[in-house]
Amino acid sequence: MSCDRTTIRQHLLAKVRQRGLEKTICPSEVARDLGGDDWRLLMETVRQVGAELVTEGAIAALQKGRVVDPLTAKGPIRFRVTEQGMAEKDVQRFKDDHTTS
């Protein structure tokens, strides 16, 4: 299963934003949504894209409720949107609504 990183990024951000600041998602939710029966093949890429979003400050990676580095954490992790990640959505929506052609 091939899925581009932009699609994974957009879907991951949409899911964490939908859950809000207090709730998390499992990376497998994104992989299952995008990968269908071959979702496991996307897991590494979803985790890598999540790590990029962590570096940008848009999301946090957690393990057992503690913030972790998603690239070095062993075992299951979860993602949660940050306040910055929620705010960026509003900024992008404003840009999209006010862009002139």
Q: Which residue, chain included where needed, has tokens 């990029």?
A: 52
Amino acid at 17: R
Confidence of residue 9 (pLDDT cuts 50, 70, 90): very high
CATH classification code of 5-98: 1.10.10.10
Q: Phi and psi at residue 99, in whole multiples of 5°?
A: -80, 130
Instruction: Write down the domain spans for the chain.
Output: 5-98
Closest listed residue to residue 29, CA positions, set 18, 43, 41: 43
Angstrom distance (rounded) from CA 24 to CA 92: 22
pLDDT in tens, 85-100: 998 755 454 345 444 4
| Pair of tokens at residue 31 | 């992989």
pLDDT in tens, 38-69: 999 999 999 999 999 999 999 999 999 999 99
